[in-house]
Structure 1
Amino acid sequence: MTLETGGGGRHVFRLIKGDYHRHGRSVLDAAFVSLEIYRYGRWASQLTNPVARWIANKIYGVLRVFILNVTKVWIPPQVVIGDDFHIIHAEGMLSIHPDVVIGDRCGIMHNVTIGRNMGDGAPVIGDDVFIGVNSTVLGNIRIGDRVRIGANTAVSTNVPSDSTVIGSPARIYPRLALFGQAGSKPAARAQAQKSEGD
């Protein structure tokens, strides 16, 4: 999981280019704009020159008002996000707590909240995770890699890798094992036909 957005101008350009392509290749797309403002805020907070950091953070403060009132997508600069993050729809609200950690290649739909649950600690989300519309992921929990969280799901417990989570309260089902069994049927059938021919 790549956790930092630093690493020089080329790295930043690569991040922005990737964001642009994932979000409809439009600089007016609300998801793209919101993500770039997040990246700017993160960059501003990491400046070592105190004067430059102060000025950059004041500019970010103005942009933050834009986020909250126009795009409704709120990703504080303290959030740690891996590579290839995708806000799939920015047609509703998205709120992420500052302490959240999100892995690589994660996709989030609209009207999602990720944050604390009446206590310390926020979710740590693995790689290749999808979070469906109107879902909440709350508390000091770990969401494993390749997890699919269905629409209208409330998650407040750890979820192992390769799982599907559905419902409120959430129910956890193994994901890849089911697909593996289904996928094995044609192979088993082909093997049986081969045996019959021999």
Structure 2
Amino acid sequence: MNKNTAISKAILFTYRFGNNIYYNIKLLPIRKILLLIYKILDFIIVKIIGGAELPAKAKIGSNLYLPHGGRGVVIHPNSVIGNNVIIYHQATIGSDKTGNDGAPTIGNNVFIGVGAKVLGSIQISDDVKIGANSVVLKDIPKNSTAVGIPAKIINHIL
């Protein structure tokens, strides 16, 4: 296992630990202790070592893959991410800061390239590819490839 894979696995373990506490632990004294442990792990592993932000409140499906150890990946706490998603380094999944605090919903089997920005209360459907450094501000339909600033669909398979 290389260094980046180990960092990525540690980041995802920390996220899953915090997510489980956030959504499943109801007994307040235990929840407070576990959240403190999570916050310490999050600060050390995710923020300092990984240079990323994966808040426990975000809803992320199985098999998220963060190549390059998740460096610079930022995910909004209200984001919903499906299964089998690949998010490359320096990608942002967040709010568009237009007054609403909406965050993207990302489907299954989605590829998000290096430095891509997916912003606002938008829907990225299943089997979508988002090119490097693209800025996605609108919904992307299933089986599409989106690139550019702002992102435009260049390939759509029905």
Q: Residue 38 of structure 1 corresponds to which residue in structure 2?
A: 15
Q: Does 1:136 align with 2:117?
A: yes
Q: Which amino acid aligns with 2:21?
A: A
How many residues align? The count is 154
| 1:166 paired to 2:143 | no
1:84 and 2:70 aligned? no
User: Which residue in 1 is equivalent to 2:25?
Assistant: 47
- After TM superposition, the score normalised by the length of structure 1 is 0.73
Q: Structure 1 unaligned runs (5+)?
A: 1-23, 178-198
Query: What's the CA shift string for 1:120-143, capped at 9, x where partnerless?
Result: 211000111000001100001000
Shift in alpha-carbon separation, 1:72–1:129, aligned structure 2, 3 A? same
- Maintained 8 Å contact 2:5/2:69: no
Q: Distance in 2 between matches of 1:35 and 1:165?
A: 27
Moved over 3 A (4+): 24-28
Counterpart CA distance in 2 for 1:83 and 1:65 is: 23
The one-letter code matched in structure 1 to 2:131 is: G
Report the residue type matching 1:63 in the other structure. Answer: L
- Residue 28 of structure 1 and its aligned partner are, at CA, apart by 6.9
Higher-RCO chain (CA-CA 8 Å, sequence separation at least 6): 2
CA RMSD of aligned residues (A): 1.8
Q: Which runs of 5+ in 2 are unaligned?
A: none
CA–CA separation in structure 2 for the residues paired with 1:145 and 1:105 = 10
1:38 partner letter:
Y
Separation of aligned partners in 1, 2:133 and 2:38:
32
Secondary structure at the aligned position of 1:172 is classed as: strand
With the length of structure 2 as denominator, give the TM-score of the two structures: 0.90
Q: Say if 1:44 and 1:163 are closer, same or farther in 2 by CA, change over 3 A.
A: same
The structure richer in helix per residue is: 1
Q: Deviations over 1:72-115 (max 9, x none)?
A: 12110111011211112226211100000001111110001100
Bigger CA radius of gyration: 1
